[in-house]
Amino acid sequence: MPTKWLRKRPDFLKVNILVAILFFVSAASAQLVNENITKQDVIEILMLPLKERLMRLKTIDGVRDRLRLLAFDTHEGLDVRWRSLTALGTLACKSYRWEIEEALKSKEWFMRNAGLLAILHDERNVAIQWSKKLLHDPALVVRTQAVKNLMELRAESRDEIWSGLFAKENFHEARGLWVRGYMAQALALWATRTDEKRFLRLLMENDPVIQHWAVVGLERATGIKMSNADEPIALQKRKWLARLSSDQI
C-alpha cells in the first residue's frame, strides 16, 4: 500500500519524501552511536596524549559519528571540540569533508584552526585551497596555521605570502606579529633569484627571526653563502650589506 501511494505522487513530492526519510535515518543513526561506549568515555580518551588518543579511538566502532557530534556540540568546551575535530580529520577526513569544511567556515576561531589541521588529511589540492583561503583569516593563530599547512604540503604560494607578509593585519602598532616569522620561513624555503631585493628589504627589519630567514632566503636566491649559521645574525647582516655596497661601487 505505501509503495502504491508513493508511485501516485508527483515526482517533486517523491524526491522530498525520500530526502525526509534519508534525513530521519541519518539522524536516528547518529543517536545510536555504539552503545558500548559513552560520550564521557570518548571525552576521557580525547584527553590522552595524541599518539595514545588516536590509537584508542581507532579501535572503537562508531566513534567517528561520536566525534562529529562532540565537535559541533556548543555545550562542550573548546578543548573537547578541538580535539574531536582534529581526531575526526585524522581518522576519516574524506568521509567527513562536509563537516570539516563547515568548521573551516565557523565563526569560532578554534574550529577554523582545528579544521585546518583536519583538512591536512584530505586530498592535497583541497587542503591547499583552504589553507590559501585562510591566510587572511581574522584570527592570528588561524593565519599562522594556514602558513604552516602550506609549508607542510610543500605548496609554493610565494605571491600570496609575500603579500601577507606586509599586510596590515600582520602588524600591531607597527610591530610585526609572530605569523610573519613563519611567512619569512616559507618564503626562504621557496626563494628564487627574483626575490633577492625583497629579502634584502627583510634583512633591514629589527626582528632577529625575520633577519635569520632573510639570510637563508638570500643564500637560496643567490647561491652565495656569506657566513656560517652559528655566527650572530648581526654579523651575517653586516656581511650581506657589505656585499650590497660593493656591488653598487
Q: Is 175 in a helix, a strand, or coil?
A: strand
Judge contact between 178 and 144, C-beta under 8 A: yes
Give the Cα separation of 150 and 127 in Å (integer): 9
Q: Which of 8-17, 67-76, 106-115, 152-161 has the least mean pLDDT?
A: 8-17
* pLDDT at site 227: 78
Q: Taking residues 74-95, what's their average pLDDT? A: 96
3-class DSSP state of 172: strand
- 3-state helix, strand, coil split of the chain in percent (to 5) is 70, 0, 25
Residue recorded with cell 581507532: 58
More confident residue, 115 or 21: 115
Confidence band, pLDDT 50/70/90 cuts, at residue 123: very high
pLDDT of residue 40: 93
The pLDDT of 214-233, averaged and rounded, is 89
Confidence grade of residue 65 (pLDDT, cut at 50, 70, 90): very high
Coil, helix or strand at residue 51 = helix
Report DSSP letters for 58-117, one per residue. Answer: HTSTTHHHHHHHHHT-TTS-HHHHHHHHHHHHHHHTTTTHHHHHHHHT-SSHHHHHHHHH
DSSP type of residue 2: H
Does position 35 have pLDDT exceeding 50, yes or no?
yes
Alpha helices (H) in 153-225, listed in sequence order: 158-165, 179-189, 196-203, 208-222
Q: What is the pLDDT of residue 19?
A: 44
Q: Give pLDDT, residue 74.
A: 96
Residue 11 has pLDDT above 50, yes or no: yes
Sign of torsion over alpha carbons 33, 37, 40, 46:
negative
Q: What is the pLDDT of residue 26?
A: 45
Q: What is the pLDDT of residue 32?
A: 40
The yes-or-no verdict on residue 51 having pLDDT over 60 is yes
Where on the phi/psi map is residue 217: left (φ > 0), alpha (ψ -120 to 50), or beta? Answer: alpha
